[in-house]
A and B are shown apart, each in its own frame.
Chain A
């Protein structure tokens, strides 16, 4: 009896490709939060970390001393003058009393830039801030 080799054409199975792709889409859709603040800063590190409040207002200070403010609802806007900054913060405190302010400040920023925001927040009776940090993993001194 003679056996003839069956001629199967070589194919890459792609039937499950769409399933895999859709699973990846679901992951990215779940992980995506359309951030209100798009500034890139090098955050300081800390061992102590607490979750920021939901819908907190954001004040971002970049290494170039650009200041961006978001009320926690709308996308952040670059402040072009001291008066605009003061008015924006006063407006947020008036509209959303008790709302937390997230301070997203570059680690190398001179302290006086942070102090400027800090003073305006106190003047406007803001109650609580969260200094945004990245998780530090090194052992702390005991």
Chain B
């Protein structure tokens, strides 16, 4: 055996110097792809696909959201949500919470306004909330007007 070839003593180690780099690359990937999604909302049971014939608007509370977001309740203008809440609470107490509330929204009004009213009604624990479609409203013109 050649005496010049001596087995070198290299200690066996796992190289971990780049571990942090790899980990930080993974962090960057997850940070970029993570989307903290909104997973909560207001639940609303849809009506059945049947023509509604037994509509009794005089027995209901009728909220109309105008194109600019202004409100009327049973035909009278309302200035604030507090006023609207007060009116609805009064009517609910009179009828033990049985009175249905109809929300009609002008087609050009912002959607967010309807959600705001729906939220208020749910907060006031109104059980019977109806959001008629524009097609339904066409059929109910005689009751609600244009």
| A interface residues with partner B (beta carbon < 8 Å) | 14, 17-18, 21-22, 24-25, 28-29, 31-35, 38, 43-52, 61, 102-115, 118-119, 121-136, 140-142
- Please give the distance in Å from B45's CB to the nearest CB on chain A: 6
Interface string of B16-41 (1 = CB under 8 A from A): 10011001101100110111111111
Query: How many B residues, CB 8 Å from partner?
Result: 53
Contact A133 B111 (CB under 8 A): no
Taking A111-B114, A114-B111, A140-B123 as given, write out 11 further A-B residue pairs in contact, using a Cβ cutoff of 8 Å, ordered by the A residue number. Answer: A21-B24, A21-B26, A21-B27, A24-B27, A32-B30, A46-B41, A50-B40, A52-B40, A110-B110, A122-B47, A140-B120
Give 29 CB contacts A-B under 8 Å. A14-B20, A17-B23, A18-B23, A32-B30, A35-B35, A43-B38, A46-B115, A46-B119, A51-B39, A61-B111, A105-B111, A108-B110, A109-B110, A111-B106, A111-B110, A111-B111, A115-B134, A118-B131, A119-B134, A122-B46, A122-B47, A129-B43, A131-B44, A132-B40, A133-B42, A141-B81, A141-B82, A141-B85, A142-B85
| B interface residues with partner A (beta carbon < 8 Å) | 16, 19-20, 23-24, 26-27, 30-31, 33-49, 65, 80-82, 85-86, 105-116, 118-120, 122-123, 131, 133-135
Report the separation of the CA atoms of residues A104 and B30 in the bound assembly, to the nearest whole angstrom: 24
Contact B34 A28 (CB under 8 A): yes
Report the separation of the CA atoms of residues A109 and B36 in the bound assembly, to the nearest whole angstrom: 23
Residue in chain A with minimal CB distance to B24: A21
Task: Report chain A residues within 8 Å CB of B36.
Answer: 31
Contact A48 B119 (CB under 8 A): yes
Task: Report chain B residues within 8 Å CB of A21.
Answer: 20, 23-24, 26-27
Contact pick for A133, options B41, B46, B113, CB 8 Å:
B41
Task: Report chain B residues within 8 Å CB of A142.
Answer: 85
Contact B81 A44 (CB under 8 A): no
Contact B49 A50 (CB under 8 A): no
- Please give the distance in Å from B67's CB to the nearest CB on chain A: 9
